Amino acid sequence: MPTEIEDVWRREAPHVLAALLRRGSVLEDCEDAAQEALLAAAEQWPRDGVPQNPRGWLIRVASRRLIDAHRANAARTNREVHEETSRAVLWSERTVDHDDSLQMLVLCCHPSLSTPSAVALTLRAVAGLTTREIAAGLLVPETTAAQRISRAKATLRAQGARFGTVEAAELPQRLHAVRHVLHLIFTTGAAPPSGGAVINHDLVTEAIRLTGRLHRALPRDPETMGLLALMLLVQARAAARTRDGILIPLAEQDREAWDQEKIARGVSLLEVALPNGPVGPFQLQAAIAAVHATAATLQATDWTQIHELYRMLLTVAPSPAAELGAAIALSELDGPAAGLEALRPLLTARPRDHRILAAVAHLLDALESPEAADAYHRATTLTDSIPEQRYLNAKAQQARNRPLPHPSHASVHAAENARNCR
């Protein structure tokens, strides 16, 4: 599919689905109709050009496909078909400037769905990802991702879930899943798990936009503020993270290229969020990112504070990513040998996690261990990200040929490679 059509679809998919769902149809039928509209666009647009109002075009075509399906299943009369077609035209005209993404997000995070199913469905319906892209983002087999999406649709159908405004009393039940989905969309874009891109700017921009909308809808929710702050603080470093398609680790980044406006906004959000309510995992991750972002130099980084924040994160929301971050921070405080000791149980539990193995390789390298090159190589074989493969291969070659820089640099390289810990 041409890139331009793919970009339009990713942007317009939630609006097309929302327009169809307003009619009361079930999500599965609406998505089938939307996919048929996409196939029609892939056939016609390369020949005729992208229409001036692609959203309206997609909604009209998808509505007709849905009507055809209804006719086949329920033998609708000609009069009903005419009425439905007229309504489809009106929807396509009225929804051009209306943003349904947030309501679609809340629908997909229905309380009857498990979090994994809600995440997979949202990545499909709101972010417009393919099943293969979703599987890569979730680090699961493609068949597993497809099963999660299928189960989610079946559950929504059984529950009679419909598109529309969610009651305020019900919204808190969905917020955890909503924030988790937004964070996953962001991390998938900020560090694509496969392919040749260092950053998927479309996904990053969409995640920040949706999180900003969620923050405006719930301006006093501290975890939403923390999530938005985290995204802004990480994205502030985007321009310095790559050069000619090559990953640049944190220790070597030009800090003058960091976006100070995003950093200031992220820190401001965090300053409001932290004193107002329980401190959650996104606030803590944002605080870690803020310590990095506000350090004038690498040497000025407050690793004691970072280590303590990771310890808090392990209490609030324990995860392998938090364990990895804590071990890296410990290596900065007590040396690479202490970091390696902290990482060994994690590596034993997750021997095929390339982020953990890469961190081990960096710390072995800092100790000038002959095992470092092999560890880098094993990490390379466990990631599908081409930029990461290039970076790790280069580090492996350096480890074979010469000593690496000062240990503090090596540990920061490991921290940057552990992208979910940022």
- Angle of helix 201-217 relative to helix 101-108, nearest 10 degrees, comes to 90
> Domain containing 111: what range?
100-156+175-192+200-219
Residues 405 and 332 in one domain: yes
Last-in-domain residue among 51, 74, 94: 94
- 124-152 residue pLDDT tens: 888 777 888 788 666 678 899 999 999 99
Radius of gyration of the chain (CA): 23
pLDDT at 128: 76
How many whole angstroms separate alpha carbon 293 and alpha carbon 285? 12
pLDDT at 404: 47
168 within some domain: no
pLDDT at 132: 82
pLDDT at 15: 79
Residues 82 and 115 in one domain: no
Residues 149 and 244 in one domain: no
Residues 211 and 152 in one domain: yes
How many whole angstroms separate alpha carbon 271 and alpha carbon 92? 42
332 within some domain: yes
Q: Are strands 384-385 and 194-195 parallel, antiparallel or unpaired?
A: parallel
Backbone phi, psi, residue 246, to 5°: -105, 135
Q: pTM for this one? A: 0.74
Residues 104 and 207 in one domain: yes
Tell me the DSSP string of 170-239.
Answer: THHHHHHHHHHHHHHHHHHHHS-SEES-S--HHHHHHHHHHHHHHHHHSTT-HHHHHHHHHHHHHHTTGG
Last-in-domain residue among 301, 334, 367: 301
pLDDT at 402: 59
Residues 87 and 8 in one domain: yes
CB under 8 Å, gap of 24 or more: what pairs does 154-157 form? 154/28, 155/110, 155/112, 155/113, 155/117, 156/26, 156/27, 156/28, 156/107, 156/110, 156/112, 156/113, 157/26, 157/27, 157/28
308 within some domain: no
Q: Is the pLDDT of residue 178 over 90?
A: no
Question: What are the C-alpha distances in Å from 313 to residues 123, 294, 410?
Answer: 26, 20, 23
Q: What one-character DSSP code corresponds to residue 113?
A: S
CATH of the domain at 331: 1.25.40
- 345-401 residue pLDDT tens: 999 999 999 999 999 999 999 999 999 999 999 999 999 899 999 999 999 999 999
Q: Are 280 and 223 in contact (CB under 8 A)?
A: yes
Tell me the DSSP string of 382-411.
Answer: T-EEHHHHHHHHHHHHHHHHS--S-HHHHH
With cut-offs at 50, 70 and 90, classify the pLDDT of residue 108. confident
Q: Are 75 and 58 in contact (CB under 8 A)?
A: no
- 364's tokens: 């072995």
Residues 50 and 116 in one domain: no
128 within some domain: yes
- 11-26 residue pLDDT tens: 787 778 777 777 656 7
How many whole angstroms separate alpha carbon 95 and alpha carbon 57? 11
Q: Is the dihedral of CA 375, 377, 382, 383 positive or negative?
A: positive
pLDDT at 381: 96
72 within some domain: yes
Q: Which residues contact 10 (CB under 8 A, 6 or more apart)?
A: 127, 128, 129, 202, 206
Residues 188 and 258 in one domain: no
Backbone phi, psi, residue 293, to 5°: -70, -25
- 265-274 residue pLDDT tens: 999 999 999 9
317 within some domain: no
- 310-358 residue pLDDT tens: 999 999 999 999 999 999 999 999 999 999 999 999 999 999 999 999 9
Q: Are 419 and 193 in contact (CB under 8 A)?
A: no
Question: What are the C-alpha distances in Å from 130 to residues 24, 87, 330?
Answer: 25, 29, 39
Residues 296 and 389 in one domain: no
3-state secondary structure (DSSP) of residue 341: helix
What's the rounded mean pLDDT across residues 162-176?
69
Q: Is the pLDDT of residue 10 over 60?
A: yes
Question: What are the C-alpha distances in Å from 201 to residues 3, 208, 391, 407?
Answer: 14, 11, 20, 32
Residues 280 and 329 in one domain: no
316 within some domain: no
Nearest to 313, CA basis, from 331, 325, 302: 325
Residues 370 and 404 in one domain: yes
What's the domain count of the chain?
4
Q: What is the mean pLDDT of the chain?
A: 83
**390 or 123, greater pLDDT:** 390
314 within some domain: no
Residues 51 and 114 in one domain: no
